[in-house]
């Protein structure tokens, strides 16, 4: 019992980091998962992690309060970066919707409660299933577990003033938009050619109302190209998962000062 009280402050720090990570990370932060389940899952994962690591002896004082804020910032930042990288799928869906003519209508994402593009939500749902099928959720949990190798509990400050962190985050955002553009390129490129063809038809056959013919034609072409290019899209989802892991690791290294 004395050992439990001795290491209780360290367990609180682990619980704060894991709970903060669950607030922003993909999959575990969605509102379709009840809050009580998320809290319970975070508690048991924190307990397993606590028993698997070296535990420092800490005292609950002013310095400990600084450590709590630091742990919350680490969990929130790592989870947010993972969520932003994975949001490239919805960005790709937004590009496709804009060319298809679906940008006028959005759907409510049941996971986050925010509006999202139609094709973006469609691709995002399949991407989540793909993430689960390749045990990507284990990869996310590994990221928070091994974060203690880069940012130990005793480290009270984070180097937010380091310009390398800002540069790294900007590069991660750039890679996310590149992958989103690559995902949407088959459909967007095909629809661009359809627009050119419709423009030529409008000039050569002025009696034909291309505004009436164009919208259903573009929707039909989009679905055909999506069916053909789905394999390539999910290959890029796999690349996105690798990018997610690399981004989490790189951010943790920079925050740890290594």
- Reported as a single tens digit per residue, the pLDDT across 201-210 is 888 877 777 7
* pLDDT number for residue 138: 82
Q: Where are the alpha helices (DSSP H) in 87-135?
A: 88-100, 118-133
Q: Provide mean pLDDT across the span 69-74.
A: 86
Confidence category of residue 110, pLDDT binned at 50, 70, 90: low
| pLDDT at 14 > cutoff 80 | yes
* pLDDT number for residue 106: 66
Looking up tokens 């989870």 gives 79
Beta bridge partners of 108: 115
Looking up tokens 């284990």 gives 138
Looking up tokens 């796999």 gives 238
User: Helix count (H) and strand count (E) of the chain?
Assistant: 9, 2
Q: Choose among 76, 91, 110: nearest CA to 179.
A: 91
Mean residue pLDDT across the chain: 80
* pLDDT number for residue 108: 67
**26/178 Cα distance (integer angstroms):** 20
**60/154 Cα distance (integer angstroms):** 13
| pLDDT at 57 > cutoff 80 | no
Does residue 191 contact residue 221 with C-beta atoms inside 8 Å?
yes
* pLDDT number for residue 154: 79
* pLDDT number for residue 107: 64
* pLDDT number for residue 34: 79
| pLDDT at 69 > cutoff 60 | yes
* pLDDT number for residue 156: 74
Task: Return the sign of the alpha-carbon dihedral for residues 222, 182, 251, 135.
Answer: positive
* pLDDT number for residue 125: 81
Model pLDDT for residues 149-191, shown as the tens digit of each residue: 888 887 777 777 677 888 888 888 888 888 888 888 888 888 8
> Which of 37-41, 107-111, 179-183, 244-248 is predicted with the least confidence, judged by mean pLDDT?
107-111
Beta bridge partners of 107: 116
Q: Provide mean pLDDT across the span 93-107.
A: 75
**115/51 Cα distance (integer angstroms):** 41
**88/94 Cα distance (integer angstroms):** 10
| pLDDT at 1 > cutoff 60 | no
pTM above 0.85, yes or no: no
- 55 φψ region: left (φ > 0), alpha (ψ -120 to 50), beta (else): beta
Does residue 25 contact residue 138 with C-beta atoms inside 8 Å?
no
| pLDDT at 2 > cutoff 60 | no
Beta bridge partners of 106: 117
């Amino acid at each position: 019992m004395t050992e439990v009280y001795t290491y209780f402050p360290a367990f609180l720090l682990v619980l704060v980091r894991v709970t903060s990570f669950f607030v922003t990370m993909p999959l575990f932060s969605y509102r379709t998962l009840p809050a009580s389940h998320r809290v319970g899952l975070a508690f048991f994962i924190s307990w397993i992690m606590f028993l698997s690591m070296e535990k420092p002896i800490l005292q609950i004082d002013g310095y400990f309060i600084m450590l709590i804020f630091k742990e919350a910032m680490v969990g929130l930042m790592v989870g947010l970066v993972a969520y932003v990288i994975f949001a490239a799928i919805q960005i790709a869906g937004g590009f496709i919707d804009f060319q298809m003519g679906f940008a006028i209508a959005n759907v409510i994402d049941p996971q986050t409660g925010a509006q999202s593009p139609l094709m973006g939500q469609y691709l995002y749902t399949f991407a989540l299933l793909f993430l689960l099928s390749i045990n990507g959720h284990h990869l996310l949990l590994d990221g928070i577990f091994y974060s203690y190798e880069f940012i130990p509990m005793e480290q009270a400050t984070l180097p937010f003033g380091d310009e390398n962190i800002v540069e790294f985050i900007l590069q991660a955002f750039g890679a996310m938009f590149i992958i989103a553009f690559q995902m949407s390129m088959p459909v967007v490129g095909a629809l661009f050619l359809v627009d050119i063809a419709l423009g030529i038809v409008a000039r050569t056959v002025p009696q034909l109302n291309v505004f009436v013919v164009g919208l259903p034609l573009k929707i039909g072409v989009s679905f055909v190209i999506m069916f053909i290019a789905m394999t390539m899209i999910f290959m890029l989802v796999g690349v996105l998962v690798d990018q997610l892991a690399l981004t989490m690791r790189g951010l943790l290294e920079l925050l740890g000062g290594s």
